[in-house]
Amino acid sequence: MKLPQPQFLPMSIREARKLGIEEFDIILITGDAYIDHPSFGTALIGRVLWDAGFSVGIISQPDWKVEGDFKKLGKPRLFFGVSSGNVDPMVNHYTANLKIRRDDVYSPGGIAGLRPNRADIVYSDKLHSIFPQTPIVLGGIEASLRRFAHYDYWSDSVRQSILADAPSDMLVFGMGERQVVHIALRLSKGEDIKEIKDIAGTSIKMEISKWRSIEHENFIEIPGFSEVSRDKEHYARAFYQHYQQQDPICGMSVVQMHPKTVIIQNKPAMPLYSEELDRIYELPFTRMQHPSYNKPIPALAPVKFSVVSHRGCFSSCSFCALTHHQGRIIQSRSIGSIVREVERMVKMHDFKGIVQDVGGPTANMYSMRCKRWENDGVCSDKRCMDCASVDANHKDQVELLQSLMKIRGVKKVFIGSGIRYDLVLKDTSDYLSQLCEHHVSGHLKVAPEHIVKHVTDLMHKPGKEVFEDFRKRFDTQNRKAGKKQYILPYFMSGHPGCTVEDMVELAEYIRDNNLYTEQVQDFTPTPMTASTCMYYTGIDPFTMKKVHVAKGREKRIQRAILQYRDEKNKGFVVEGLRMTGREDLVGSERKCLVKMR
């Protein structure tokens, strides 16, 4: 019998018994506090499994030093699902300079230290020691982006696939709703998890001897762990090969040998149809933290009244792992579904009339499509951003935003997740005027990242001229609307290919254009991005050409130059200017980056 959706997924035996549950089908372990909101992966997966007829319990932020927390819900009938949380735990714990962060917005009260480093491995080890016969399925961002051998910035080494290090049976990569339901259904029919090898969107491991004893078709074998950990050219080639297979329609299975096991990535899962996304996001999320917490969880406030309109991103930015996670095919919800979600938000007692954000990885890709995607998948030899076959029309997003504005009780609908401004320039509609008139909350987030051409080329970002064209059009539209609104640009320091000279040029551009630069990102190498491959190997995997890589002190100097207005960066900025022979920028003149009295 299908269980009705509870107000919150149970986190205790007491809650379970109130729902008539004596044994859970599935127990989800997460490194985040439990927030019942569709922006948080554990809540999303838990609600989807419940909707499919499976009882689900949640163990949130267990104390990994003892067994008690892992035992508190008992043993699940089918499997444990393990995720470190919404953010990679190493990124969550450390800055780009490898300093320990003082807080954790995904924990009650923002308290740091409630999850371990490499949480998926730690949690899996503990579960396997307590429940050795119960299947363990990894999922979430940490597992998804470590499914192959990968460079690990925090240890400055190449690590094995997380499946080779963790005592888990399967890994779900990408957005995992379809995969986890298939796994649950097949286990509930009595299948052994070690025999479930063919679910798209999953990775498995196999004994080397068994792999060698069977016939193989439709797979790509990439350089193995022993090769990529010794030879940087092999690492770059392996990255390029698995990057090419991340399309759900034309991608092939990818195999990578490890010393004691074989890692097999099945082809990615098919994108969800609009109707499937609608059903998922219309499940009865409370948009609240679980009532067992007595302190607020900071991560909830910025997204509480936000709406996910779509998934996927075809930008293919080098420093972003979305190509390997959500994919390049845009999957959009229907306007009617999003309207219904906002209508439910309006009824919440603390809703003040502001929809904080309507978007996805890139807000203005909503409903964009290419006629090739459905039958042929994405092209492996070209970028969608450069292709005329992609329909870059914003008419559906304009209609969506206008529909939300008509809902009684809604005062403002903002786009807070950032837009791809070069797509705006390709559109001949009145999207920009609508954006400026109704949907900018004073500042519009855009991410030029840099303005030097060889750096933006490596980033797969548009050049300075495109950014300047957008700025002019944005300013013109705001003048017409009688509004004073500003662009909030995101810039990046330390990206592969960028030199100190390039950073000085960017700093002068910021100075000359009076741009606000609080939003600065110091490049952090994270698994499964092209930029991380460049950082580790010094090679662009798409061309196999060498690139400059800033490390150590040079990396700190680059960041300081980007924030040259900050007095505490003065020493590093002066050092960088002297390195580049630009002492003319130190002094009392107006053009100087460092003012000397």
- Domain segments of the chain as ranges: 13-200, 305-436, 442-597
pLDDT tens sequence across 526-568: 999 999 999 999 999 999 999 999 999 999 999 999 999 989 9
CATH number belonging to domain 13-200: 3.40.50.280
The tens digit of pLDDT for each residue in 40-80 reads: 999 999 999 999 999 999 999 999 999 999 999 999 999 99
Q: What is the pLDDT of residue 519?
A: 64
Residue 268 has pLDDT above 80, yes or no: yes
Q: Kindly state the tokens that stand for 12.
A: 């205790």
Query: What's the DSSP call for residue 264?
Result: E
Continuous segment of H or E residues that includes residue 533? helix 530-537
pLDDT of residue 536: 98
Q: Is the pLDDT of residue 280 over 80?
A: yes
Q: Is residue 155 predicted with pLDDT exceeding 90?
A: yes
Q: 274-281 and 335-346 are packed helices; what angle lies between their axes, rounded to 10 degrees?
A: 10
Q: Determine the Cα–Cα distance for residues 475 and 472; give it in Å rounded to an integer.
A: 5
Q: Which amino acid is at 527?
A: P
- pLDDT tens figures, 80-133: 999 999 999 999 999 998 999 999 999 999 999 999 999 999 999 999 999 999
Q: Are 301 and 350 in contact (CB under 8 A)?
A: no
Q: What is the pLDDT of residue 279?
A: 97
**Token code pair at residue 289:** 């933290």
CB 363 within 8 A of CB 414: no
User: Fold match between 13-200 and 305-436?
Assistant: no
| Tokens 């090679």, located at residue | 539
Tokens standing for 324?
A: 């390997």
d(CA 73, CA 285): 22
Q: Closest by alpha carbon to 62, among 24, 119, 111, 13?
A: 119
- Joined together, the tokens standing for residue 256 give 């990578």
- The model's pLDDT over 164-222, given as tens digits with 9 standing for 90+, comes to 999 999 999 999 999 999 999 999 999 999 999 999 999 999 999 999 888 878 899 99
Question: Residues with Cβ < 8 Å from 391, sequence gap 6 or more?
Answer: 368, 369, 370
How far apart (Å, rounded) are the C-alpha atoms in residues 411 and 355? 8
Mean pLDDT, to the nearest integer, of 464-478? 95
CATH class for the region spanning 442-597: alpha beta
- The Cα–Cα gap between 517 and 501 comes to 18
Comparing C-alpha atoms, which of 339, 340, 358, 174 is closest to residue 272?
A: 174
The residue-averaged pLDDT of 476-486 equals 92
Share of the chain above pLDDT 90, in %: 87
Which region among 367-376, 451-460, 466-475, 491-500 has the lowest average model confidence (pLDDT)? 367-376
Q: Where are the alpha helices (DSSP H) in 147-251?
A: 162-165, 177-188, 208-213, 225-228, 232-243
CB atoms within 10 A of CB 26: 26
Chain-centre distance for alpha carbon 151: 18
At the topology level of CATH, where does 305-436 sit?
Transcription Regulator spoIIAA (3.30.750)
Q: How far is CA 386 from its chain centroid?
A: 23
pLDDT reported for residue 418: 83
> What pLDDT, on a 0 to 100 scale, did the predictor assign at position 3?
81
Sign of CA dihedral 115, 118, 119, 122: negative
pLDDT computed for residue 450 by the predictor: 96
pTM of the predicted structure, to 2 decimals = 0.95
Q: Under a CB-based contact definition with an 8 Å cutoff, are residues 178 and 48 in contact?
A: no
Distances (CA, A) of 155 to 150, 159, 358, 451, 533: 11, 9, 38, 31, 15
Instruction: Give the three-class secondary structure for 56.
Output: strand
